[in-house]
Structure 1
Amino acid sequence: MIYQRTLKTVITASGVGLHSGDRIRLTLRPAPVDSGIVFCRTDLPEPCALKADPTLVNDTRLSSTLVNSQGVRVGTIEHLMSAFAGLGIDNIVVEMTAQETPIMDGSAAPFIFLLQSAGIVEQKPALKKFIRIKKPLEVSEGDKWVRLDPYEGFKVKLSIEFNHPVFRRSPQTVEVDFAQRSYIDEIARARTFGFMHEVETMRNHGLGLGGNLDNAIVIDDEYVLNQDGLRFPDEFVRHKLLDAIGDLYIIGHPLIAAFSGHKSGHALNNQLLRVLLNTPEAWEFVTFQSSDTAPSSFHQLPESMVV
């Protein structure tokens, strides 16, 4: 059987917000069966909880941000959500002392480390709920598009397009089928990136205030400025894929589907989820009484990772 998962114990970390520049304390807590992924702002006079939900993503400027009806914000959640997806976390409470999650090193790898350090437990006998895509769905905007197709597993294909010397020297398409390849090995370490010429504009809009060479790949007119260079030859498009996996997981369940896109971003990814929710004939909930009947993309975590 494939069961729901949460953490074994509480774990805490701290870091800087990429856009706000705030110092943030992040605490991850185990959560009950069927409670989902819940973010809690503990810095407010009355701590406020927001459950991950595509309809609450109301700001997609350079990140995915949940905003509730009272205007409470929980921002830059896509890297943490991507880590949850990569390790199959269904139920967790995320406590934050500011309006966004810490950026850490700009990838999902530090969050993977935190989750593994806390320990992952299966919540028997509650079965994990998957969303199986039954019909193709697509959202486009000009030459940008994202798409979900029926597929017995989970695979992703993404392409980007930047007219810049660094990108012309780097592959701009990546495809990963998680039946054969590992999220931790192939995706988790890919970092966010930005251009030097955009920094002033971003900061004038209150964004990127915490960004630096320790938590992002920074590119000038010709080169990558980070001393150690890239972690993967195609790190840029791998990070976009990391973002997409996190954005899609805001729906709260793993997708049994093939996701593909070109020049996608947080806004299009969220629009695709909203179309999905508004097209009930295109999907169904499924559970698996035996891991043998589940797509191999979702087989159990290695025993060393499940407590």
Structure 2
Amino acid sequence: MSATARKTALTAGDIRALKGQRPIVSLTAYTTPMARLMDPHCDFVLVGDSVGMVLHGLPSTLGVTLDMMVLHGAAVARGLSKAMMVIDMPFGTYEESPAQAFSNAARLMAETGAAAVKLEGGVEMAETIRFLVGRGIPVMAHVGLTPQSVHALGGYKVQGRNEAAAPLIADARAVSEAGAFAVVLEKVPATLADQVTEIVPIPTIGIGASAGCDGQVLVVDDMLGFFTAFKPKFVKRYADLGAAAEAAIADYAAEVRARQFPAPEHTFADTLPPKAD
């Protein structure tokens, strides 16, 4: 499977230029119908490796494969015409070496039409980011809580508190200097997120950070109420579509069991010839 790069209204350069201009809007997407719904409203759409937990029932993002990201990335691309598409590089596909990262990032972009990749890590990933950017691959960085490192971090804890603030600032500076066009700040104290936003010249995209970040991103199934396995503090539910869907399914089941569905208006007229006398 291959896909040519999509022509979108926004590019990595456009997103970077929004620093200090207006808030940047983003959500995750994993399917074509959802991408179509958010395309008019989002500046960039993230095909997140959260797809493993949200759609595939995995306990974390660690089991997500490159093939899964290609499948969902291509689906999302078919639903976008305005928003820029960024795609996550899954765990184990970029950490070994810059060459490994380039090979896998090139495949993701070629087979999905994504305009940029996102990878996790700060100072330790600066060399890789510089390598990718130098070879024409726009990179969005991700520091703070990095879900692919959840075991090393000791769980889904707030990052950057107290003495950990300086290393987080160093991470943000390192990815910016390496050429990332934006950086996600996840689960970072608001005052620290504001400080990082002031320090780095690239947009900060908050998720569990601060309203002062240059932009925001949420997992769409979280904010719509579809994914209810757990609810992080930083998620605002803008709808409870999961409960509405469950109620609709229950109504359907009840009508089928009572033979109320399908009703005459849902069936087709008899076309059999009349019986002979």
Return the index of the structure with the highest Cα Rg.
Answer: 2
Q: State the TM-score, normalizing by the size of structure 2.
A: 0.24
- Between 1 and 2, higher relative CO (CA 8 Å, sep ≥ 6) is seen in 1
Q: State the TM-score, normalizing by the size of structure 1.
A: 0.23
Larger % of strand: which? 1
Larger % of helix: which? 2
